[in-house]
C-alpha cells in the first residue's frame, strides 16, 4: 500500500469534518488576519480542499474581487464547488500545485494551507506560486511540523510507533523547518513568520485532537505498523486519561508570508 495519503471521497469528507472543528475555525481566522485581504483583490487558493477558506476569503474580497481555487483531488473540488455554489466570484479548478492553471502575474495574493507537505516537487510548486503572483503580490503558506506534537500518553512506546508511522503520510512532514530557503530559491522574499498552536486538554468529540488522533492511529494500522486492536486500545487509554483530567495535546502549525519582489 502507498504510504502517502490520497484525498479520495472518504478522506475528503473526513477532512471537511476535521476542518469544521473550532480549533481549525480559529486557525483559519489567523490565516485571514495575516493575509489581510482587501476588497476587490484577486486571490488564489492552492490546494483549496473543501473550500472553507475560499468561502471566507470570498466574503472579504467582495463581489468585485475574486477567489480561484485549485486542487488535485476531484472529490475535494466537488465539495468546494458545492459549498461556494452561490458565489459568482469564486471558481475551483482540478489541477496540480506544480502546474497551476493560471496565467502569469494574475493574483494580488495566494494562500495555501496544509498543502505543500503533500507536494513532492517543492521547487517546481514554489516556482509556480511565484509565477502567478503579480510583482509585489504576497503568498501565505501554512504547514504543520509533525515533530511539534506533544501528547500526554499512558502508552509512550505505542504513541511513538504511531507517530513515527504517521511521518510517512506525506513527503514533507517537517516542511516549516525547511521552507525558508525553498521560498527564497523560488524568488520570493519572506516578510513574516508566525505559529498557531492546536491545544486541547479535553479530548472532546467536537475538537481537532479527537478526530486527528483517531485518524493517525487508523493510518498506522492500515500501514501495518500497529495492530488495529492496539490503535483502539490507544484511543481508549487517551479517553481514560481525559476523564482523569490528564489529557494534553499540542501541535504547531506555522505561517509564512512571502512576497514577489517588484523588480
Contact residues: ligand SAM, CB under 6 A: 7, 15, 19, 47-49, 52-53, 70-73, 76, 96-97, 113-115, 118-119
Q: Would you say 121 or 240 has its CB closer to ligand SAM?
A: 121
Q: How far apart are CA 30 and CA 17, in angstroms?
A: 19
The residue assigned the cell 527564497 is 184
Rg (CA), the chain: 19
> Nearer Cβ to ligand SAM, position 76 or 257?
76
Between 53 and 58, whose beta carbon lies closer to ligand SAM?
Answer: 53
The H-or-E segment that residue 45 falls in is: strand 42-46
Smallest gap from residue 257 Cβ to ligand SAM (A) = 16
Contact 148, 177 (CB under 8 A): no
CB closer to ligand SAM, 15 vs 153 = 15
Contact indicator for 15, 237 with CB cutoff of 8 Å: no
- Return the H-helix or E-strand segment holding 29: helix 22-35
- Which CB atom, from 215 or from 237, has the smaller least distance to ligand SAM? 215
Nearest-approach distance from CB 45 to ligand SAM, in angstroms: 7
Q: Which is nearer to ligand SAM, 113 or 153 (CB)?
A: 113
Query: Closest Cα partner for 146 from 178, 117, 188, 174?
Result: 174
Q: Which residue is nearest to ligand SAM (CB)?
A: 49
What is the end-to-end Cα distance of the chain in Å, rounded?
47
**Closest separation between CB of residue 170 and ligand SAM, Å?**
8
Least distance from ligand SAM to the Cβ atom of residue 20, Å: 10
Closest separation between CB of residue 2 and ligand SAM, Å? 13
Would you list the DSSP string of 181-221?
Answer: HHHHHTTPEEEEEEEEEEEESS--TTSHHHHHHHHHHHHHH
Minimum distance from residue 238 beta carbon to ligand SAM (Å): 22
Amino acid at each position: 500500500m502507498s504510504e502517502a495519503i490520497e484525498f479520495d471521497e472518504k478522506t475528503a469528507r473526513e477532512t471537511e469534518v476535521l476542518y469544521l472543528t473550532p480549533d481549525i475555525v480559529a486557525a483559519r481566522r489567523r490565516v485571514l488576519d495575516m493575509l489581510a485581504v482587501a476588497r476587490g483583490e484577486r486571490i488564489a487558493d492552492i490546494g483549496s480542499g473543501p473550500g472553507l477558506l475560499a468561502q471566507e476569503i470570498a466574503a472579504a474580497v467582495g463581489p468585485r474581487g475574486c477567489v480561484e481555487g485549485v486542487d488535485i483531488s476531484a472529490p475535494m473540488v466537488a465539495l468546494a464547488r458545492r459549498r461556494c455554489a452561490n458565489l459568482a466570484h469564486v471558481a475551483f479548478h482540478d489541477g496540480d500545485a506544480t502546474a497551476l492553471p493560471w496565467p502569469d502575474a494574475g493574483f494580488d495574493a495566494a494562500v495555501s494551507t496544509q498543502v505543500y507537505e503533500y507536494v513532492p516537487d517543492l521547487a517546481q510548486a514554489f516556482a509556480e506560486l511565484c509565477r502567478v503572483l503579480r510583482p509585489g503580490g504576497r503568498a501565505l503558506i501554512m504547514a504543520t511540523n509533525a515533530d511539534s506534537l506533544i501528547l500526554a500518553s499512558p502508552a509512550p512506546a505505542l504513541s511513538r510507533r504511531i507517530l513515527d508511522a504517521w511521518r510517512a503520510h506525506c513527503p514533507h512532514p517537517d516542511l516549516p523547518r525547511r521552507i525558508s530557503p525553498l521560498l527564497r530559491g523560488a524568488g520570493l522574499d519572506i516578510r513574516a513568520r508566525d505559529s498557531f498552536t492546536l491545544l486541547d486538554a479535553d479530548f472532546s468529540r467536537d475538537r481537532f485532537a479527537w478526530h486527528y488522533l483517531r485518524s493517525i492511529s487508523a493510518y498506522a494500522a492500515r500501514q501495518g505498523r500497529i495492530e488495529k486492536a492496539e490503535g483502539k486500545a490507544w484511543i481508549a487509554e487517551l479517553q481514560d486519561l481525559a476523564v482523569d483530567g490528564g489529557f494534553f495535546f499540542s501541535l504547531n502549525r506555522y505561517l509564512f508570508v512571502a512576497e514577489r519582489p517588484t523588480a
